[in-house]
Structure 1
């Protein structure tokens, strides 16, 4: 019997508490189990068990060897599962959490193709702007935009999240075009409340960095609402390009302060830590990462 099999029998004896119980669990005879443990001890040159007629206990060497065997056997099982998963067809329910606006505009548009590629996956899509706890709420995966707060999660970057300051041509015609961030203090700025430091807009340029504290009469926790309001000539907003790119390209909105750069963040797929991704999670992450790098899904072109 090979070393791994002998280790497995040894671990089984420890877990079951006796040679006879380990034999029943392994489908072997008690004498066969005893012989395998004896040969293992001979090969190691050390006694693993203290044996009496009524009691079986590990020696100090046996306790250390048991811990190492458990780790080795777990690593072997994990490696076998990883190889099996690479060839397994993604299947089962994939519970996914996505921000409302991004999910509606971008994720939903790609789902039909994903489901056609992976017909054995059942998708449970939840659109929410709050940060869910993936583990306690049973999510397999989430899409998050911006800075990640939970460092215990695994993150895969799907795309950059470039943000721009924009307003409607009608608003700019009436109130003038700001040429520096500081001039925003004299404009009606709409505030997206779900963003950290929502009133402090940070810019970089050749002159360095500056932060402007902006304000206005309207705040909202949904970026689509803010976009709808600035389209109605209400004010100026700092919004992601994935939301306003098409409107800017079509002339319905105008990007301003183009010589100043708002620090980028990113769009991530996040999932609980694990040594190997399940096939269904891997399929979704890889699919979305590929799609967001295609020209037709580039936010500057298709926003």
Structure 2
């Protein structure tokens, strides 16, 4: 078995966390897979996998080698696709990541429409409320809602969102409307850690930054829970504007302290390949950018 085949086998074993499932994925016999990994480890001179009766785990060296194998195999796939003319015609698997709520509200409909237009493309999504490493997770495109550091990635701005404070009309009628950020100290608040990992909420007042530390009655780790609690009148919460666009349109929530909001947060589509991106990545980024830029709730 040549080196590229051995790398493919190793990636399958690592991702499937077992020799038997990797063999099924590759349409090989388990003994062939086992011998391929043993030969690979012998050639490299180090153990790549910890084997137990229940599962297979990567060693530290194996974790590093997996990242390199994914990169090398992806580059080979891209070279073959380009040579075959697929740089012009989208095909192959597209892997996209976004936060859970943004993925469900925006990326999922866009991706499904994209697949409908490109029958030779398949897709995989990873919607999680954490920043993922595209290379390590084998991903093509990420949605980043943040001010981005210089990472060498290609980033395309497609919109922006506000960090706003809102509450139900019933809550505001009972407890009053805060006029200044400092008024939040006297209100019931719902802390959503995904937007404000710090216990302080930042605002602008008179050209300066103002920080307030509310004492939340409720702390949650999902936007849906924070929004549900706010709609039901349990207090003020701070979320990103796109998260509550339906509730605002229906009148179930109202914005407060709008004149003190910090600067909007940009939304970017990020990918690794730059101008050398495959047809499927370029086509999806262009398609998603057009759709997101046309959406009034994030612009």
* TM-score calculated relative to the size of structure 1: 0.66
Match of 2:297 in 1: 299
- Provide the rounded CA distance (Å) in 1 between the counterparts of 2:180 and 2:143: 34
- Is the 1:191–1:198 contact (alpha carbons within 8 Å) kept by the matching residues of 2? no
Matches within 5 A, 1:209-224: 209-224=209-224
The structure with more radius of gyration: 1
- Please report how far the alpha carbon of residue 152 of structure 1 lies from its aligned counterpart in structure 2 after TM superposition: 3.4
Partner of 2:199: 199
Aligned to 1:74: none
Pairwise CA RMSD: 2.7
2: CA distance between counterparts of 1:267 and 1:288?
Answer: 12
Q: Once the 2 structures are TM-superposed, how far is the Cα of residue 186 of structure 1 from its aligned partner? A: 1.4
Q: Which stretch shows the higher mean deviation, 284-293 or 201-210?
A: 201-210
Instruction: Structure 1: give runs of 5+ residues left out of the alignment.
Output: 1-77
- In the alignment, what sits opposite 2:32? none
Cα distance in 2 between the residues matched to 1:285 and 1:278: 11
String of CA shifts for 1:133-192, please: whole Å, max 9, x gaps: 211221112112223357233222121122211000111112111011110111122112
Alignment CA distance shift 1:208-1:89 (3 Å):
same
Q: How far off is 1:94 after superposition?
A: 0.5
Paired residue secondary structure (1:158): strand
Q: Which moved more, 1:143-152 or 1:240-249?
A: 143-152
Structural mapping, 1:268-279, within 5 Å: 268-279=268-279
Match of 2:151?
151
Asked if the contact 2:153–2:274 (Cα under 8 Å) also holds between the matched residues in 1, the reply is no
SS of alignment partner, residue 276 of structure 2: coil
SS at match of 1:160: strand
Alignment of 1:128-147 (within 5 A): 128-147=128-147
C-alpha distance in 2, partners of 1:235/1:100?
23
Report the 3-state secondary structure (helix = DSSP H, G, I; strand = E; otherwise coil) of the residue aligned with 1:259. helix
For residues 257-301 of structure 1, what are the alpha-carbon distances to aligned partners after superposition, in whole Å with 9 as ceiling and x for unaligned? 12222221122211224451111111111111101121xx21069
The 1:130–1:87 alpha-carbon spacing in structure 2 relative to 1, beyond 3 Å, is: closer
Give the conservation status (yes or no) of the 8 Å contact 2:157–2:269: yes
CA distance in 2, matches of 1:269, 1:122: 19
* C-alpha distance in structure 2 between counterparts of 1:258 and 1:193, whole Å: 21
* 1:174 equivalent in structure 2: 174
DSSP-derived class of the 1:237 partner: strand
Q: Which residue of 2 aligns with 1:256?
A: 256
Q: Which residue pairs with 2:88 in the alignment?
A: 88
Distance 1:257 1:267 in 2: 23
- Distance in 2 between the 1:270 and 1:85 partners? 24
2:186 aligns to what?
A: 186
Contact 2:180–2:257 (Cα < 8 Å) also in 1: yes
**Pairs within 5 Å for 1:88-127:** 88-127=88-127
